[in-house]
Amino acid sequence: MVSSEHSTPDAQLVDSSRRSLLKAAAALAVGTGAVIVGGTGALLSSQSAFAQGNSKTLRIGFQKYGNFVVLKARSTLEKRLAPQGVGVQWLEFPAGPKGEALVVQQDSPIRTVADLRGKKVALNRGSNVHYLLVKALQRAGLTYTDIQPVYLTPADARAAFVQRSVDAWVIWDPYLAAIQRQANARVLTDGEGLVRNTQYYVSSRKFADAQPQVLHTLLDELNQVDQWASKNIPAVAAQLSPLVGLDAATLELALGRAAYGVQPITDAALAYQQQIADTFTDLKLIPKKLSVADARWNPVG
């Protein structure tokens, strides 16, 4: 099993485009026939990779934002897999978590997380920011029932935040960078010292077991792209800008907060992910207790 500084598709893996780090692992653990093959433990940065298929085609779920866009543009993966008779199909996913923070209006009377008692907080249900909010409330001596959660997609949450129909918004990059630069939002707290926000690459178990070398090639290419991107943030921002619809300066802010590099998944990472699963089970976001370790990929050879 491999880890990286990137994320997975949502809990429903194949059918859902909404992204949740926990739900991905959760769905795997209850027998969706998928495994965690990689992820990256970073506070920011990410992308989704859901690879599945047969011996002839590697299908990859990607977002307009992140290193898969760079990898797709470079076509280096296709060149490496061609001698093996493997093609690549790219499937776009519309959303995915990066750097995250809890923000309020610049002139808001809310100065600390404790001030959120009774307030409306917008968030994407079941996502990484959902867990951040839970942990931030706990540290402030509050429970989840002390606030009024408002479950909205990022676009709808932004509108609600700008119109002041919610008091706070917990969100990830690049939306976080955009609301900071465009609306002067104030960060109440972020994930530093609070959450690890490890993110994962996910594959169908059938494909991973049948084509481990293809997945290793993919992860190697991603790592190379990541290392290049970490040293060429302005170039990456310029490439992503027309795709994401955000100015390059905003994307540079988001990318500058990202962590880069593909890393093996450790027992400690799985134990932490289990904590998230248990928290979401307590919140009734997951119907029953899960064993995240069951989703671990242990390639042979």
40-70: pLDDT as tens digits: 432 222 333 444 444 488 999 887 777 888 8
Helix (H) or strand (E) holding 221: helix 212-231
- pLDDT for the residue numbered 207: 85
- pLDDT for the residue numbered 48: 36
β pairing state of 57-62 and 87-92:
parallel
Q: Return the bridge partners of 151, or none.
A: 123
Please state, in angstroms and rounded to a whole number, the distance separating the CA atoms of residues 39 and 202: 8
CA torsion sign for 281, 285, 290, 293 is: negative
Please state, in angstroms and rounded to a whole number, the distance separating the CA atoms of residues 90 and 92: 7
Report which residue type is found at 134: V
Q: What is the pTM of this model?
A: 0.72
- pLDDT for the residue numbered 96: 52
Helix (H) or strand (E) holding 177: helix 175-183
Which residue, among 129, 142, 126, 153, has the nearest Cα to 277 in the 3D structure? Answer: 126
Specify whether the CB–CB gap between 110 and 147 falls below 8 A: no
Beta strands in 167-213 (DSSP E): 168-172, 186-190, 198-204
Q: Which residues of the chain have pLDDT under 70?
A: 1-55, 94-97, 198-199, 300-301
The answer to whether 2-96+197-295 and 100-190 have equal CATH topology is yes
Indicate the CATH number for domain 2-96+197-295. Answer: 3.40.190.10
- pLDDT for the residue numbered 99: 79
Specify whether the CB–CB gap between 160 and 234 falls below 8 A: no
Which phi and psi (to 5°) does residue 184 adopt?
55, 35
Residues in the chain, overall count: 301
Which phi and psi (to 5°) does residue 213 adopt?
-70, -30
Domain ranges of the chain: 2-96+197-295, 100-190
Which residue, among 32, 29, 30, 3, has the nearest Cα to 16 in the 3D structure? Answer: 32
CATH classification of 100-190 is 3.40.190.10, yes or no?
A: yes
- For residue 57, the SS3 value is strand
Which residue, among 231, 232, 254, 237, has the nearest Cα to 45 in the 3D structure? Answer: 254
With a CB cutoff of 8 Å and minimum separation 6, the contacts of 98 are 44, 45, 46, 65, 66, 172, 173, 174, 176, 254, 258
Which residue, among 17, 13, 21, has the nearest Cα to 42 in the 3D structure? Answer: 21
- pLDDT for the residue numbered 36: 60
